[in-house]
Amino acid sequence: MLFDTHAHAHFNAYQADSDEVIKRSLSKNVVINLVGTQSDTSKRAVEVAERFKNVFASVGLHPEHLFSKFVDEEETSFLSREEEFNFEYYKKLCASEKVIGIGECGLDFYRIPEGLSKEQMLPKQRQVFLEHIRLAKETNLPMVIHCREAHEELIEILQDATRDLPLPPPLQRRGDDDSPPLRKGEGEGGVSPLTGTIHCYTSNWENAQKYLAMGFYIGFTGVITFPPLKKNPQAQADLLEVVAKMPLERILLETDCPYLSPVPHRGKRGEPWMVEFTARKIAEIRGVSYDEVVKATTQNALYLFNKIKLND
């Protein structure tokens, strides 16, 4: 069983065939987390997840939607709609038993709208991210965190937010079966840790160690299968170093579909089942079996998103 911990198979890119895409991935034994990026896509993620077994949802407001700007990505281009974060709206969505995470939320300085600067964008992005942290604490759900060209700022915020909180308890594997792993001390009460995943990680080992020290997981997408960029080959080398050095018990698999389809499907619209190729690349880089990566990353996901109840 594979687990695509970050998919957008409910977006407009699948307007004509979303159900078929989801069913195709489920038939290949892939569990799916549909991730919302604003109020309507978060609501739709919940609605779709409630119609399928082994499909779940995360809800949040992506930093792209805090300022109106033109976004041109693989498989889509659009003018982002500026939206205010409505804490109570998202908290209400969390009442669904299918909601397992808070996000996609975070910081993004990759695209700066005309007439603004990074310094002007940061206060609003920081405040909205802090509201997501508050929501995660209130609902006791892990976070799905987006970061693009903002790791220094994001790490500072998370270090402040986690300073007086306990680390998540270590993953306790049950053995060779496929049962969900147990949390050590689960159910004993006390202050809950703040945890989650750094989605679509593309930074270096130095930053990865800082996230790991705070108890976060790292999600890898098809980006790890891409060839190095000619203008900056070191970036891919740095990323693959992270894949090689990461503790296996903190790695998650993602597609981020419809974006970032892995080789050999590069340039095509992604689907959740393609997460297989990211798993195979991780196995290749680390010199372990594909089955070991599949089993470990699925257990990691079930441990982190511990609200999940799988159906046969």
pLDDT value, residue 256: 98
Which residue, among 194, 145, 210, 180, has the nearest Cα to 307 in the 3D structure? 180
Report the predicted TM-score, pTM, of the whole model to 2 decimal places.
0.93
**Number of domains making up the chain:** 1
In a domain, 227, yes or no: yes
| pLDDT tens profile 252-302 | 999 999 999 999 999 999 999 999 999 999 999 999 999 999 999 999 999
| Distant-in-sequence, close-in-space partners of 4: CB < 8 Å, separation ≥ 6 | 25, 30, 31, 32, 33, 253, 254, 255, 257, 272, 273, 275
| Distant-in-sequence, close-in-space partners of 249: CB < 8 Å, separation ≥ 6 | 171, 296, 300
pLDDT value, residue 77: 57
In a domain, 246, yes or no: yes
Domain containing residue 30: CATH number: 3.20.20.140
pLDDT value, residue 184: 42
pLDDT value, residue 116: 87
Residues of the chain with pLDDT under 70: 69-80, 173-190
In a domain, 107, yes or no: yes
- CA 159 vs. chain centroid, Å, equals 19
pLDDT value, residue 230: 93
In a domain, 312, yes or no: no
| pLDDT tens profile 62-80 | 999 998 765 555 555 556 6
In a domain, 310, yes or no: no
Q: Is 94 helix (H, G, I), strand (E, B) or coil?
A: coil
In a domain, 139, yes or no: yes
In a domain, 247, yes or no: yes
- Whether 10 and 48 have beta carbons less than 8 Å apart is answered as yes
Provide the residue range defining the domain that includes 293. 2-304
In a domain, 309, yes or no: no
